């Protein structure tokens, strides 16, 4: 092909036209728009055109065009900064959720018997439990093998887009699983004496059916999803408190799940989850503090560089003037001046400490008053529903028959002892209310009934012997003191029983006084009431009594906990005293 001329198309800057050839007329050559490579046509190589060949590319840009371009670039850069900051916050939030989710999944996958985990944080300001985002885990195998009703309930827990989603609303202490285990006290669910000790597993159905418990929808849905047992492990990471709820099947063996190594792992895993939750807020605050500190340092350095000369001269002049005035107006000896200086320093430090303590006391008082005002509004939860008629009839029958039995026993004791002793009956009205009206509640269980009565009886005898007989105190002081001591002791031992505290007041108020035999007859009446409650409640299909026995649980922990605390305190005092003596030498 013969090429005579080469003409560039000015419209596209990518075409070339040639002169006459052996073929028809004109040949069109299409150049790439990037102009990044040469075009080979037979033996002729056409190099890419240079900018100098195209004068139309070299256009003059006016100042208004430049300003518009700069303004557009600034706006684009500002928008890009906003989007970058938003994306960083989203990534940071996603990283926090991912960290918590990984910790929860790791705890569930390596444990035995646990098929679900729920994590809750305690808000010290609002005094509520808040659900942790990413803190819910369900065993995938358990989820796949669930029948249809349980699968629907699981979807209500795990799927926020479900119209019937059971939202994890904030819980107050005593409501829901987190509030329930928190209200039991840290000593009841966490044994510091034995990190590998058994966890406190509770039947979810017993908690839901407990009339003492305020209804909570999510707890009902958990029971419908097939979870039968729950255990709560608290954590406290530098003031960030919460509870990790472990969920298991109803048929799971507590003895196997409380195997020492598995229980120790669950406790440590709960602390790991708590650390992951507590890291989110400090990490975010540390990043913000770092950025603000860098900007603050930059402004401070620039300001100091500008004002350093003037400030230095002013300080020098002021110092010289001050020394001159002091020498002229306050001539003192060195010793007197030193004593006055020490006195001023001492008064200043004392004033600072008093001011600091006063401010701290005022701030704490204000916080407590604000929290008390918030608590007066209530939590917005619904009261428990009324009992059905068949349950009411069963409660009446059981209470009537048991009280009839107790009255008969009291009359038998009265005539057998020639009118000296009988059963003190008033506290049994409260006892039967617990056993037949609140069957699943902890104060109604045999452990609380027996231990509570023994504790209150011993305190009543000691108060009568020491306070009344030896010190001669008045009954108006002894009665409230003995009742308060009984209530506090039962709470410490983990066996709270309201009728036992009422029995203390009844013993002091009855005519003729009381002694050890009176306490024994009262204890026999409690044992008889427990026996009647076991027989009558278990004849009903919808009731079970007792919910647990566990006569050895709690007492050992309380006594050993006090002994260990006393031993550690004594050892600490001895070590500190030895170190002070060595430092003094």
For the record, the structure tokens of 439 come out as 């069957």
Residue range of the domain that includes 115: 94-282
**Calpha distance 372→365 (Å, rounded):** 10
Most confident of 9-18, 135-144, 176-185, 203-212: 135-144
Tell which residue, 194, 195, 333, has the closest CA to residue 264.
195
Q: Report the domain count for the chain.
A: 3
Residue ending a domain, among 282, 310, 335, is 282
75, part of any domain: no
574, part of any domain: no
User: How confident is the model over 458-476, as a mean pLDDT?
Assistant: 91
Name the band, by pLDDT with cuts 50, 70 and 90, for residue 313: confident
125 & 226 share domain: yes
At residue 163, the 3 state secondary structure works out as coil
Cα–Cα distances (Å) from 292 to 18, 285, 300, in that order, read: 67, 10, 12
397 & 518 share domain: yes
Write down how long the chain is: 585
405 & 549 share domain: yes
* pTM across the whole model: 0.51
Q: Is the pLDDT of residue 17 over 90?
A: no
User: How confident is the model over 540-556, as a mean pLDDT?
Assistant: 75
**Calpha distance 9→16 (Å, rounded):** 6
pLDDT: is 204 or 80 the higher one? 204
43, part of any domain: yes
CB 246, CB 233: distance < 8 Å = yes
351, part of any domain: no
**Which range is least confidently modeled, 53-62, 88-97, 163-172, 476-485?**
53-62
> Which tens digit of pLDDT belongs to each residue from 137-156?
999 999 888 888 888 999 99
42 & 98 share domain: no
> Which tens digit of pLDDT belongs to each residue from 391-428?
889 999 999 999 999 999 999 999 999 888 899 999 99
516 & 398 share domain: yes
Q: Is the pLDDT of residue 528 over 90?
A: yes
Q: Is the pLDDT of residue 481 over 90?
A: yes
Residues 6+ apart with CB under 8 A from 455: 486, 489, 490, 493, 495, 500
pLDDT: is 493 or 21 the higher one? 493
Tell which residue, 120, 114, 113, 112, has the closest CA to residue 136.
120
36 & 181 share domain: no
Task: Note the pLDDT of residue 270.
Answer: 93
51 & 158 share domain: no
Task: Note the pLDDT of residue 84.
Answer: 55
Residue ending a domain, among 282, 314, 333, is 282
376, part of any domain: no
Task: Note the pLDDT of residue 356.
Answer: 82
Question: How large a percentage of the chain has pLDDT more than 70?
Answer: 72
163 & 277 share domain: yes
> What is the residue-averaged pLDDT of the chain?
77
189, part of any domain: yes
Tell which residue, 430, 567, 445, 560, has the closest CA to residue 504.
430
307, part of any domain: no
**Calpha distance 16→414 (Å, rounded):** 129
**Which range is least confidently modeled, 77-81, 199-203, 491-495?**
77-81
Task: Note the pLDDT of residue 565.
Answer: 54
519, part of any domain: yes
Residue ending a domain, among 282, 300, 325, is 282
404 & 449 share domain: yes
User: What's the CATH code of the domain at 273?
Assistant: 3.30.450.40
Residue 323 CB neighbours (<10 A):
10
476 & 525 share domain: yes
**Calpha distance 115→157 (Å, rounded):** 14
114 & 240 share domain: yes
403 & 513 share domain: yes
């Amino acid at each position: 092909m013969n090429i005579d001329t080469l003409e560039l198309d000015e419209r596209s800057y990518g075409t070339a036209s040639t002169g006459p050839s052996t073929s028809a007329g004109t040949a069109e050559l299409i150049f790439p728009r990037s102009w990044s490579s040469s075009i080979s046509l037979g033996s002729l190589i056409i190099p890419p055109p240079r900018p100098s060949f195209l004068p139309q590319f070299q256009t003059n840009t006016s100042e208004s065009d430049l300003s518009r371009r700069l303004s557009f670039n600034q706006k684009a850069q500002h928008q890009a900064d906003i989007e970058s900051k938003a994306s960083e916050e989203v990534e940071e939030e996603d990283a926090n959720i991912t960290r918590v989710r990984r910790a929860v999944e790791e705890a569930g996958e390596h444990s035995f018997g646990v098929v679900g985990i729920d994590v809750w944080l305690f808000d010290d300001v609002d005094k509520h439990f808040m659900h942790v985002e990413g803190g819910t885990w369900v065993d995938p195998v358990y989820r796949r093998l669930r029948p249809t009703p349980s699968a629907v309930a699981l979807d209500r827990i795990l799927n926020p887009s479900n119209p019937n989603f059971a939202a994890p609303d904030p819980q107050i202490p005593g409501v829901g699983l987190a509030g329930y285990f928190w209200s039991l006290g840290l000593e009841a669910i966490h044994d510091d004496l034995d990190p590998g000790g058994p966890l406190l597993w509770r039947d979810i159905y017993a908690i839901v059916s407990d009339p003492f418990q305020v209804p909570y929808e999510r707890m009902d849905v958990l029971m419908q999803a097939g979870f039968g047992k729950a255990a709560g492990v608290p954590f406290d990471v530098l003031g960030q408190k919460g509870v990790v709820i472990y969920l298991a099947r109803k048929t799971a063996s507590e003895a196997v799940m409380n195997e020492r190594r598995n229980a120790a792992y669950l406790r440590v895993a709960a602390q790991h989850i708590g650390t992951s939750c507590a890291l989110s807020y400090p990490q975010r605050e540390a990043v913000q503090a770092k950025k603000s500190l860098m900007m603050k340092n930059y402004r401070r350095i620039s300001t100091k560089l500008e004002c350093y000369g003037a400030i230095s001269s002013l300080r020098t002049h002021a110092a010289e003037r001050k020394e001159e005035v002091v020498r002229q107006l306050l001539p003192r000896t060195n010793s007197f001046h030193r004593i006055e200086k020490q006195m001023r320093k001492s008064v200043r430090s004392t004033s600072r400490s008093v001011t600091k303590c006063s401010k701290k006391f005022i701030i704490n008082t204000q916080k407590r008053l604000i929290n008390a005002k918030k608590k007066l509004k209530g939590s917005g939860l619904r009261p428990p529903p009324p009992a059905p008629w068949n349950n009411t009839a069963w409660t009446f029958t059981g209470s009537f028959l048991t009280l009839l039995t107790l009255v008969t026993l009291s009359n038998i004791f009265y005539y057998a002892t020639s009118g000296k002793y009988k059963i003190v009956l008033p506290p049994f009205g409260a006892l039967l209310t617990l056993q037949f009206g609140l069957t699943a509640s902890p104060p109604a269980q045999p452990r609380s009934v027996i231990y509570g009565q023994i504790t209150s009886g011993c305190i009543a005898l000691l108060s009568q012997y020491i306070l009344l007989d030896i010190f001669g105190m008045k009954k108006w002081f002894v009665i409230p003191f003995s009742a308060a001591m009984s209530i506090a002791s039962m709470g410490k031992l983990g066996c709270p029983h309201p009728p036992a505290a009422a029995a203390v007041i009844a013993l002091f108020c009855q005519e003729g006084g009381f002694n050890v035999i009176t306490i024994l007859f009262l204890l026999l009446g409690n044992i008889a009431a427990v026996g009647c409650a076991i027989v009558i409640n278990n004849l009903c299909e919808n009731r079970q009594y007792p919910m647990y026995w566990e006569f050895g649980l709690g007492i050992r922990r309380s006594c050993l906990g006090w002994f260990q605390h006393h031993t550690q305190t004594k050892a600490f005092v001895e070590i500190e005293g030895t170190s002070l003596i060595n430092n003094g030498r």
